[in-house]
Amino acid sequence: MNSSPVTAVIVGAGHRGLLYARLSLQQPEMMKVVGVADPDPIRRRKAAELFDIPEEHHYETAEQLAEQPAIADAAINGTMDRQHVPTTLPLLQAGYDVLLEKPICPTREELLELLQTVRSTGRKLAIGHVLRYAPFYVGIKERVLSGEIGEIYALHTCEAVSYHHMATAFVRGKWNRREINPMLLAKCCHDLDLIAWFKSGVRPRFVSSLGSRTVFLPENAPEGAAERCLVGCAAEPECPYSARKMYLDSGRWPTYAWESIEHIDEPTLEDKERSLREDNPYGRCVYACDNDVMDHQSVVIEFEDGTTATHDMVTGTPKPGRSIHIWGTEGEIEGFMEDGVFTVRHADPRKGHEYSEEVVDVQVSGGMHGGGDMRLAEDFVRVVRGEEPSISSTDVTDSIYGHLIAFAADEAMMQRRVVEIEDIS
């Protein structure tokens, strides 16, 4: 077991890759970033400046990096979804352990190829399922593992996606087409991973699903709507999806909204407004985009041991968040992550009673994903060092099953049938 800092190279110096790598700035005794690979010279330069990476360890591609003798213990892969497997395979084969951003990949075939490579190389692969590490879900998992509610036989999760997140990422943005990623994989792979994690080691066998597009359609555009929010749109002042309100006034989603002008070091408000008027995809009307992903979908899963699980994805909601309800043979747990509270209930047959309950207040940590981001990075370092991992870290099979559920759900929805998932154990 090695207690020295894990050395890491960033592959894909975008938002998520840099976020995990910041562990080296916050806790330098755990991680040291020593290299970067990114085809964009601007991102490469910014990452090198942030982490003080020597020029000889700047690479344009993961393949170029993998051709050299390994310069680090691990790679943090924050590339785009379709690049995940093509860039991770050579890294694993070159001897790197890999922290790979979710979702793993857009196809079942790539997913299984990656699993085979992990097994054949013996390298460690962690997936960016950060919700497993959020104190809210860790607290629930601890109660489940303690046997407090007996054996799980049913569970339900729901993700309500905010109107501004849906509009930004899945209508105007990079994940608005099924050919890129089915909506469940792009947005709810966290939730499906949680379901697989709570049933760790048990194969999800049958999946069915229904969903549709009913909100973000051309026929739902308000009177006077134009193709771009800031170009002659009479509805813009009252529209909750106004690009002006979302990206200029409230400053939401800057990583996405200003990607098209990231070559400008310090873009002004005028630069940003001009981009929304001209060719910035985030300036488009949400009712006039090329999106085809579902805006609501429900999934039903049956595990090999008979446990059933359901997940609902709804979008465009005023109040976003994730809820969970787990039923066990001796009790139940229910909670809403954003409130940081879950309730444990048990049957109480005494006269005048029906159930007893304990309300557990979990301190919601700062940062995204309920405080799970840095906890994931910390746990990855422990795994690479050979230390005891947390309960959030399991065999990659659970992560694979969560993705297979998403693929099966999309297939089941499109073909209106029940899909069986293969055994990958």
Output the CA angle 69-71-72, nearest 5 degrees: 130
Find the helix or strand (DSSP H, E) in which 171 lies.
none
Q: How many domains does the chain have?
A: 3
Asked whether residue 355 falls in the same domain as residue 384, the answer is yes
Render pLDDT for 72-123 as a digit per residue (tens, 0 to 9). 999 999 999 999 999 999 999 999 999 999 999 999 999 999 999 999 999 9
At 367, the pLDDT band (50, 70, 90 cuts) reads low
Separation CA 170–CA 293 (nearest Å): 7
Task: Give the pLDDT of residue 3.
Answer: 76
The per-residue DSSP string of 47-110 comes to HHHHHT--GGGEES-HHHHHTSPP-SSEEEE---GGGHHHHHHHHHHTT-EEEEPSS--S-HHH
- Whether the CB-CB separation of 389 and 168 falls below 8 Å is answered with no
Q: Tell me, yes or no, whether 327 and 188 share the same domain.
A: yes
Q: Is 4 exposed, middle or buried (0-12, 13-18, 19+ CB in 10 A)?
A: exposed
142 in the same domain as 60: no
* Closest to 214 measured CA to CA, from 298, 316, 295, 312: 295
Say whether both 297 and 370 belong to one domain: yes
Mean pLDDT score of the chain, rounded to an integer? 95
- Whether 142 is in a domain gets the answer yes
CATH number of the structural domain spanning residue 315: 3.30.360.10
Of 283, 316, 340, which one is at a domain's C-terminal end?
283
**Are residue 34 and residue 169 in the same domain, yes or no?**
no
Cα–Cα nearest to 188, from 341, 402, 424, 415: 402
Is the residue at 113 inside a domain? no
What secondary structure letter does DSSP report for 364? Answer: P
Residue 393, token pair as written in the block: 């870290």
Domain that holds residue 249: 218-283
pLDDT at 368 > cutoff 60: no
According to the model, what pLDDT value does residue 61 have? 95
Q: What is the pTM of this model?
A: 0.92
What three-state secondary structure class fits 339?
helix
Given CA atoms 90, 96, 101, 104 in this order, what sign does their dihedral have? Answer: positive
Q: Hey, how many other C-beta atoms are within 10 angstroms of the C-beta on 195?
A: 26
Give yes or no: residues 198 and 311 share one domain.
yes
Do 330 and 352 belong to one domain? yes
| Sheet containing strand 341-347, strands side by side | 355-361, 341-347, 331-336, 321-328, 152-162, 308-317, 296-303, 204-212, 419-420
> For residue 46, is it within any domain?
yes
Same domain, 358 and 401: yes
User: Is 302 in the same domain as 159?
Assistant: yes
Same domain, 141 and 191: yes
For residue range 236-259, list pLDDT tens digits in order.
999 999 999 999 999 999 989 999
